[in-house]
């Protein structure tokens, strides 16, 4: 038998950073995402975000891939939001996302970070937060010439 435990901190935004995730809507969407993922065998350990983005602490099994799990979560949740008219306008997630591995000893720190999103964004924007993640992990956004999307702040 193989034993696998892979922790991922995933972050993605609403398309064009639209402020859809406000008040009770945010909690309703996060609750749905967590419950739906569970039915598909995806363990979202912790979820939170702010008005234009989401953070998930996900525990993957050895059979799951980061990209497939995130795309499933994003695709299913946007269809659910639109089908149930949770927002007044058409809802979409941005194509881009960040996913970084988390060591077992860092899980508590990541949970606290995700839990305190409202406090983080009193002092800094999502664009600043996202750029910090990319820099910390040695990543850089692709330019349009390399096939990347142009990002909007």
Report the percentage of the chain scoring pLDDT > 90.
Answer: 72
Domain boundaries, the chain: 6-146
CATH superfamily for domain 6-146: Transposase IS200-like (3.30.70.1290)
Do 12 and 29 form a contact (C-beta atoms < 8 A)? no
Q: How confident is the model at residue 1, as a pLDDT?
A: 73
Give 3-32 pLDDT, tens digit per residue.
889 999 999 999 999 999 998 999 999 999
- Please say whether the beta carbons of 36 and 120 come within 8 A: no
């Amino acid at each position: 038998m193989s034993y696998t435990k892979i922790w991922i901190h995933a972050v993605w935004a609403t398309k064009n950073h639209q402020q859809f995730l406000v008040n009770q809507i945010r909690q309703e969407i996060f609750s749905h995402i967590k419950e739906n993922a569970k039915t598909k065998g995806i363990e979202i350990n912790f979820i939170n975000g702010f008005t234009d983005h989401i953070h998930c602490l996900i525990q993957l099994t050895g059979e799951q891939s980061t990209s497939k799990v995130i795309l499933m979560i994003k695709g299913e949740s946007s269809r659910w939001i639109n089908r149930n008219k949770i927002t007044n306008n058409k809802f979409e997630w941005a194509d881009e996302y960040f996913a970084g591995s988390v060591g077992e000893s860092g899980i508590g720190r990541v949970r606290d970070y995700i839990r305190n999103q409202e406090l983080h964004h009193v002092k800094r924007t999502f664009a600043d937060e996202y750029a910090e993640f990319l820099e910390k992990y040695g990543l850089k956004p692709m330019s349009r010439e390399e096939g990347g999307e142009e990002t909007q702040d």
